[in-house]
């Protein structure tokens, strides 16, 4: 009897899979059997090596995700390389820090373009193909603790991740009846390049660790199980949820 978590034969398109959370998600999906189409500006050679070692196919789709107009082209390229996309993981994101009084339009627009606008149009492009082919599909968005909280000095990031939470629910409402599951993962404090400044700040690092019941920063691999669940038949009746993987941060 096949496992409900088996992704063998599935094609997963993952944005921002070269390092950090994206790499952890891509590797986790590959270890469950999915072939990976990774989207980004530079070839994720390390991720490719790990995925292929797991016995899965890997393709790189080069794209600047600040340009949402390329969404259809990206999904088409993934299909050409590996086959129709079954799973879309909208992981790529950027963050800019500044006091709200000094925040620039440039930093606002760049973050919203990558973190929210492209998420929508990639989801739309993937879903159009799924619906046209009569195929079920899974879309997993990467939200944040700031989908629930305000944060400080990250106005555009908070706005974008709050938008991701709302968009996840909206798309789930519209597409659940078409066999497409749309859900999100909200990572807690994960040790990646984006959080390097926080971890380097001794006072802020201690404050963060003091609130996390698990007592440690998360690792990208800690998110893999949630991604496999939301990408697999095990989650077929799960729609519009935002799954926090946060070491207990929100429970505190």
Q: What is the tens place of the pLDDT at every residue in 12-47?
A: 999 999 999 999 999 999 999 999 999 999 999 999
How many CA within 13 A on the CB side of residue 153?
Answer: 5
Residues 143 and 196: beta-carbon distance below 8 Å: no
Number of other residues whose CB lies within 10 A of the CB of residue 38: 27
Kindly indicate the confidence band of residue 2, based on its pLDDT and cuts at 50, 70 and 90: low
Domain assignment present for residue 105? The answer is: yes
The pTM score is 0.96
The average pLDDT across 83-110 equals: 97
| Residue at 136 is within a domain | yes
Tell me the average pLDDT of the chain: 97
* pLDDT band, residue 177 (cuts 50/70/90): very high
Q: How far apart are CA 160 and CA 247, in angstroms?
A: 23
Q: What amino acid positions are annotated as catalytic residues?
A: 157
Q: What is the pLDDT of residue 193?
A: 85
pLDDT of res. 1: 47
Percentage of residues of the chain with pLDDT beyond 90: 96
Which CATH number is 244's domain given?
3.40.50.720
4 found inside a domain: no
Q: How far is it, in rounded angstroms, from Cα 111 to Cα 151?
A: 15
Assigned domain for 76 exists: yes
Tell me the pLDDT tens digit for each residue of 202-218.
999 999 999 999 999 99
Cβ atoms 66, 41 nearer than 8 A? no
Please list, in sequence order, all residues whose beta carbon lies within 8 angstroms of the beta carbon of residue 49, skipping any fewer than 6 positions away: none
Give the total number of structural domains in the chain: 1
Instruction: Answer whether residue 61 is part of any domain.
Output: yes
Classify residue 139: in a domain, yes or no.
Answer: yes
**Per-residue confidence (pLDDT) for residue 197, from 0 to 100:** 85
In a domain, 40, yes or no: yes
């Amino acid at each position: 009897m096949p496992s409900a978590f088996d992704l063998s034969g599935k094609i997963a398109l993952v944005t921002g899979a070269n390092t950090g959370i994206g790499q952890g998600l891509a590797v986790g999906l590959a270890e469950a059997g999915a072939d990976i189409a990774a989207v980004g500006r530079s070839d994720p050679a390390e991720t490719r090596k790990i995925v292929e070692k797991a016995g899965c196919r890997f393709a790189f789709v080069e794209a600047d995700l600040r340009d949402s107009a390329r969404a259809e082209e990206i999904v088409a390229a993934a299909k050409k390389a590996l086959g129709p996309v079954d799973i879309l993981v909208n992981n790529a994101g950027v963050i800019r820090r500044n006091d709200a009084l000094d925040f620039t339009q440039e930093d606002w627009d760049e973050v919203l373009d990558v973190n929210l606008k492209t998420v929508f149009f990639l989801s739309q492009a993937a879903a159009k193909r799924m619906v046209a082919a009569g195929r079920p599909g899974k879309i997993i968005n990467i939200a944040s603790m700031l989908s629930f909280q305000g944060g400080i000095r990250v106005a555009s990031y908070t706005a974008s991740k709050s938008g991701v939470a709302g968009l996840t629910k909206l798309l789930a409402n519209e597409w659940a009846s078409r066999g497409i599951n749309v859900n999100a993962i909200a990572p807690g404090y994960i040790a990646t390049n984006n959080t390097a400044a926080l971890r380097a700040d001794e006072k802020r690092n201690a404050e963060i660790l003091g609130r996390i019941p698990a007592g440690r920063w998360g690792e990208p691999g800690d998110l893999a199980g949630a991604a496999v669940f939301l990408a697999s038949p095990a989650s077929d009746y799960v729609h519009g949820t935002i799954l926090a993987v946060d070491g207990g941060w929100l429970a505190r």
